[in-house]
Structure formats: C-alpha cells, structure tokens
Amino acid sequence: MKNIFRTFVLIFATGAMVTSCETTELDLTVSPNELSPTQSDPNLLLNSIQLAYASNQYFLSEDLGELTRIEYFNGRDYFNTLPGSALNFVWARVYSSQFTVVGDIPTGGSRDVGILTNLQSIEAINTESDTDYSFHLALGKIMYAHSLFQLVDVVGGAAFSQAGNPTEFPAPVLDSGEDVYAGAFGLLAEAEALLASDPDPVGATDMFYDGDTEKWIKAINSIRLRSYKNTGNKAAFDAIVAGGNYIMDAGDDLQIGYGISELQPSDRHPMYEDSYTPTGVGPYRSNWLMDRPFRDLYLNHLRIMPD
C-alpha cells in the first residue's frame, strides 16, 4: 500500500510540475542587445547627437585647415594626402555612428555617436510618449541640417531622400547639392517652429547654449546666412541681416564648452589632449602663422612711426 501511495504522490507531483511549466511565462526579459529604439533615453540620444556633431566640426576643421595651410598638410599631392576615405568618419557620424573625439573616450575603446539614427529614435519616442520632446527634436534637426550643408560644400552632394531607411534603401543614392540644400533649409524651418514655444528641455543637457532657445534661433539664422551666401540668395540674406536675430558677438557663438578635467572622463579639447603630453606636443603648428600677429603688430607700429 505504501508503495502504491508513494507512486501516486510522485505521479501527481510530476504532473503538477509539467503543468506549471506549460502555463508559466519564464521569458520575462528582453535581450539588451535587441532593445527597441523607443526604449532609449531621449536625453542620452541627444547627448550622442551633440557629441557626433562636435566631433565632426573638429574633423572638418582639421581637414579644411590643412587645405588652407593653417594645419600641416603633410604632402603636396591632394589626391594622395586626402584620399576618398578622408571623410568616412564624418559621413558615418552624420548618418549612423562612429567614435567620438569630443568628450570621454574610454581607454582601449570608443564611444559610438551619431546624428540621423538618434534623431529618428527621438522622433519615434516623441510620437509614442506623452512627454513633449520638441527641444530634443529641434536641436537634432539643426545639427543634422548644418551637417548636410557641410557635406554638400565639401563633396558636392549627400544622401538625403533615401537616408535613414536601410530596409528600403540599403545603399542610398546621393542627391544633388541643390536638393540637399533645400531639404536642410526645411529642417531648419522645422527646428525654428519647434523652438518658437520655448519648449522645456525635459532634463536634457544642452552642451552649447544651456537650454537657451533664443540663442539656438540665432544659430539657425546664422547657418542660414552662410548657406544663402553659398547659393547667392541675396534677398534672403539681407532679410536676416535686417532682422538682426543672428550671431553677432562671442557670447552667442555656437561652440561647445570644454573643461579642464584630465582623468576619465576627460572633457578637455582634443587638441589640448594631443599637445600637452609627457612626450611633448603632437600636432604641428605653422611657425609663420604663429609669428604673423607679432610681425603684423611690429609692421603696423613701423607704419605709424614718423619718418
């Protein structure tokens, strides 16, 4: 009888376990490698956009500075010194992601940052959320628009109409400079409309203007000025100048604020990082250029001396 009872209990317990396994949902987590973009923190996405934008300004100023001999060009042959891959990182940061040179760079690794993909994620979050992320969207559109202008100015065209849609367009075509410029002007108009109501930053870190939307509108108009100049649109250029709402002094400059921290995270300027090292200065500086202000001052002094 005991054996029969034990067998019955064992069968009942086994059946209960099988039943519980069939009815209990054990997979209650989502793989961290497969998170939806809408599960991201909009503030961190905006940080990524800002770091990508600032890193691109650093790289573009380096390359264009070499062309104008402000930086050492390291050669006389333009095709050899500036190959087709010269703007790969800039291009990648505009549309997807690439490592940053502005801000914290972890030892032995890199931090991936990008503009368009993160802007698209913020747009998706804003659609699904009750929180208004107009501030985030405006800043992202400004930086994306300015980046598009710059790509056109440097290479003559850029991806725009098919950009950011890898499923349908895995290899987006380059649009003409005129079309990209028109699209970028449209993005600036959208950004200005978003900033018109002075939206709440909702905890975002504004690395340029500390949440001052009026200064961002001045930046928008200043970007328009440089672009109207390039297209020869004198009427639009003169209209902005007449309005006076653009960057006219250093206090409104569109520039990221660097710090003095040396340890990780380091927030010093990348050129400062490269120059002040135990082994000495890295980047070359033109002695002629550095001497220029002093020589000009001396010559001006001579000019005002009596004969």
CATH classification for the domain delimited by 34-268, as one of 1.25.40.390, 3.40.47.10, 3.90.1150.10, 3.40.50.2000: 1.25.40.390
Task: Render each residue's pLDDT in the chain as its tens digit; 307 residues.
Answer: 555 545 544 555 555 554 445 455 555 555 555 556 667 899 999 999 999 999 898 888 877 777 766 666 777 777 777 777 888 889 999 999 888 777 654 444 456 789 999 999 999 999 999 999 999 999 999 999 999 999 999 889 999 999 999 999 999 999 999 999 999 999 999 999 999 999 999 999 999 999 999 999 999 999 999 999 999 999 999 999 999 999 999 889 998 877 777 766 667 777 777 677 777 666 666 676 667 665 555 445 444 443 3
**Rounded (5°) CA angle 289-295-296:** 95
Chain Cα centroid distance, residue 131: 23
**Alpha-helical regions (H) of 96-176:** 116-128, 134-155
Instruction: Note the pLDDT of residue 43.
Output: 94
- Residue pair 64/57 in contact (Cβ under 8 Å)? The answer is no
**Rounded (5°) CA angle 65-66-68:** 65
Q: Does pTM top 0.85 for this prediction?
A: no
Domain boundaries, the chain: 34-268
Instruction: Note the pLDDT of residue 50.
Output: 94
